[in-house]
Structure 1
Amino acid sequence: MKITKVETFLVRWGDVSQPLEAATSAATAVVAIHADGLVGLGEASPMQNGVASLQVIARDMAPALIGADVLDHAVTLDRLLHKLIKLGPDGIVTGALAAVDIALWDLKGKAFGQPIYKLLGGAWRTRIPFYASIGGNANRDVDGMLRTVEARFKAEQPSAIKIRWDGARGEIDRDIAGDIAKARAVRKLVGDGFPLAFDANNRYSVGAAIRVGRVLEELGFIWFEEPVEYYHPKAMGEVAQRLDITVSAGEQSYTLQSVATLIECGVRMVQPDIVKMGGVTGLMQCAALCHAHGVEFVPHQTQPAIGNAANLHVLSTVMQATKPAELADGWARAADTFVNAPKPDGGCLVVPEGPGLGLAVDEAMLARRRFDVKG
């Protein structure tokens, strides 16, 4: 099963009539790998629209992929990593490899007529509870945040809710009292028993994180995500060890080694993202690492179609799953292109059953939204 063609492109969301330069601010970074008349789709990290990773694929990876056997998946990816190791292994290169990995799994599933989760050993569940991940709260007042949370709570009926801050990085400890007020208001809105999480998006010093964390414990929040800068794993570990609430991190991790460092520092819930950390293969490795260390494995995932479907295939195979899957803002933006992309269904997301990722594509709409990215 030889690879014959590799395409890299953005799928633009929103108004496709606007200039391409503006449209790329809201897009999905896609690689399409062709073999034996089949096409496998993968997705790169959306950081800076994913353009840099797509260019690495087009310029530096595609020539080595042409002619490779799809079933030599692991060897091919390892060769690509070591070919480009001085550009990584974190960041752009690993995001590119994640996209290629997902596309190869999609191809293999289509070749064998099986969903990816079957190739991984089978699913413990194909209905996976989800949490509504609600961002932008740094720039809302309490009432504005409550209106946003209530709207998604009613529309989606999630199994849990996470409130995210998403403010400008570098504004450390800007409004601790205001953040606490928002946490209290959300708890009052949803009631005492409903599962809540708080994503600080790296906005606190260690001391402030501990102060906020104590309030979250009092309010019954179930986890406290990235309270301090992610690139200070020892500080993240210190906060984790000094609080009773579960402290989580890892969405910025691109390698198994960086996840291991978080665990060694004391973080007990890790959140790698499938479009950053090695795709399906990387996430399965991370699940094994977490199981070996007794650490919760709760992947981060904000992409609406390819990334989300790939993530659900992996989560379905993990017996030790402890928390719901993430469903972020804007998940419906893919619905007119990936026509069966997972969507809320009674507090759950359903893993696609078709071969590979199981995604059905409206080719006419894809053609309208596509913007090719060359190396």
Structure 2
Amino acid sequence: MGTIIKSVQAFQVTWVENEPPGRRTAIVRVTTQDGLVGYGEASPMLGGEHSLGIVRDFAGSLAGLDALDQAVICDRLLHKYVKLGPEGAVTGALAALDIALWDIKGKYFDLPIYKLLGGAWRTELPFYSSVGRNAGRTVDETVRAVEERLKSERPAAVKIRLDGDRTRQDHDIPGDIAKAKAVRKLVGDDFSLAFDANNQYSVGGAIRVGRALEELGYIWFEEPVQHYNVRAMGEVAQRLDITVSAAEQSYTMQAVVDMINAGVRMVQPDIIKMGGITGLMQCAAICFAHGVELVPHQTQPTIAHAANLHLLATLMHNTKPAEFSDPSTRMHVAFANPPIPENGMFKVPSGPGLGLVVHDGELQRRRS
């Protein structure tokens, strides 16, 4: 029993005319000898080209292998390319491959991925609206941006992202706190809010902002200090009462464990950065063993989003809503059923594999 890999293709997709390479989507398509096709997606940093280059390097070696052996295939490739990091490009490449192979596995058995992972605790998931680019907005502009998302999406929670210059540490703490206060006033005392600093504070600055967020009733404080300073992240987490989250920029299970051991109690690895569905399921087991919340980071609207929903559906302790980042419909042209919110919820796709119906001709036409 099995389904043999025929080819692996890695390419960028350009969605709008003259789109720069860094805005394109990194796609991996795996085709089997019996005609099954699986789709995966790599991290979009710089258009994912660095990860696609690695996929192109190993693509030929996968022909003739059983697509159902996805864990063995990905582990072998991780250790083949381990000296390149392994964090970043390598794990992004393997995440895309892993998702594509899970897509094939689901189609082979004619089951949605969540069934193959052990079943869903729920097939409709609440989400939070992740509202970005607020470092460059005034207080009033930030409030208006949040207000627009509340009206159009009906989220269960809202996260304010700064998305500022990480080299300008503690640049405008009073202004950041003012934005947090204004958004709290907009939504009322009982609505769930989170604040993403995007690594812009010193330890002292993070504690100052974190105390203000505690007073305002925010439920988590995301990446207050530089992600690579694990000790500092842990210090902030242990000194504040508000839940401090991190690890969206952790690319291996070991890096996530380091963050947990430092004192972080909510981790946010990204399905297209650290090992795909297999990697996040391993993280789920680690988090369950350590009593830590797993709230995956997720910004992509189609393939990665569908994969993330399948994973979230299987988590018994799914403590926070799914992330819905700044919305974009530019990729919908290539999908008959892109994941979109309905009545404040995302439905987990129920079709085989990822459950996405892909217009492959559109992907081919827009291939870069």
For the aligned pair, the TM-score class normalised by the smaller chain equals over 0.9
Alignment gaps of 5+ in structure 2? none
- Give the match for residue 4 of structure 1: 6
- Give the match for residue 86 of structure 2: 89
Alpha carbons 1:131, 1:160 under 8 Å: kept: yes
Residues 1:251 and 2:248 are matched in the alignment: yes
The CA deviation string for residues 107-143 of structure 1, in whole angstroms up to 9 with x for no partner, is 0001111000000010000101100001000011111
Once residues 82 and 307 of structure 1 are traced to their aligned partners in structure 2, the CA distance between those partners, rounded to angstroms, is: 24
**TM-score, normalised with respect to structure 2:** 0.97
Once residues 76 and 342 of structure 1 are traced to their aligned partners in structure 2, the CA distance between those partners, rounded to angstroms, is: 29
Query: RMSD value over aligned CA atoms?
Result: 1.0
Once residues 141 and 56 of structure 1 are traced to their aligned partners in structure 2, the CA distance between those partners, rounded to angstroms, is: 41
Q: Secondary structure at the match of 2:334?
A: coil
Letter paired with 1:45: S
Q: CA deviation at 1:366?
A: 2.2
Residues 1:73 and 2:75 are matched in the alignment: no
More displaced 10-residue stretch of structure 1: 131-140 or 324-333: 324-333
**TM-score, normalised with respect to structure 1:** 0.96
Once residues 314 and 69 of structure 2 are traced to their aligned partners in structure 1, the CA distance between those partners, rounded to angstroms, is: 23
**Where does 1:335-374 land on structure 2 (aligned, <5 Å)?**
335-371=332-368
Aligned match for 1:216, one of 213, 230, 233: 213
Alpha carbons 2:26, 2:44 under 8 Å: kept: yes
- Give the match for residue 262 of structure 1: 259
Once residues 297 and 224 of structure 1 are traced to their aligned partners in structure 2, the CA distance between those partners, rounded to angstroms, is: 14
Q: CA deviation at 1:370?
A: 1.9
Residues 1:141 and 2:138 are matched in the alignment: yes
The CA deviation string for residues 228-258 of structure 1, in whole angstroms up to 9 with x for no partner, is 0000111001000011100000100000000
More displaced 10-residue stretch of structure 1: 336-345 or 295-304: 336-345
More displaced 10-residue stretch of structure 1: 311-320 or 61-70: 61-70
Alpha carbons 2:22, 2:45 under 8 Å: kept: no
Once residues 11 and 227 of structure 2 are traced to their aligned partners in structure 1, the CA distance between those partners, rounded to angstroms, is: 30
Residues 1:303 and 2:305 are matched in the alignment: no
Residues 1:44 and 2:46 are matched in the alignment: no
- Give the match for residue 167 of structure 1: 164
Residues 1:207 and 2:204 are matched in the alignment: yes
Alpha carbons 1:304, 1:333 under 8 Å: kept: no
Once residues 365 and 76 of structure 1 are traced to their aligned partners in structure 2, the CA distance between those partners, rounded to angstroms, is: 29
Alpha carbons 2:177, 2:209 under 8 Å: kept: yes
Once residues 289 and 280 of structure 1 are traced to their aligned partners in structure 2, the CA distance between those partners, rounded to angstroms, is: 14
Once residues 156 and 301 of structure 2 are traced to their aligned partners in structure 1, the CA distance between those partners, rounded to angstroms, is: 18
- Give the match for residue 288 of structure 2: 291
Once residues 322 and 331 of structure 1 are traced to their aligned partners in structure 2, the CA distance between those partners, rounded to angstroms, is: 26
Q: CA deviation at 1:339?
A: 2.4
The CA deviation string for residues 279-324 of structure 1, in whole angstroms up to 9 with x for no partner, is 0000000011000000000000001101000000000000011000
Q: CA deviation at 1:28?
A: 1.3
Q: CA deviation at 1:365?
A: 2.7
Letter paired with 2:43: S
- Give the match for residue 53 of structure 1: 51
Alpha carbons 1:206, 1:239 under 8 Å: kept: yes
The CA deviation string for residues 58-88 of structure 1, in whole angstroms up to 9 with x for no partner, is 02x1122111111222111111111111112
Once residues 50 and 130 of structure 1 are traced to their aligned partners in structure 2, the CA distance between those partners, rounded to angstroms, is: 26
- Give the match for residue 326 of structure 2: 329
Letter paired with 1:214: R
Q: Secondary structure at the match of 1:139?
A: coil
Q: CA deviation at 1:362?
A: 2.3
Q: Secondary structure at the match of 1:71?
A: coil
Alpha carbons 1:237, 1:262 under 8 Å: kept: yes
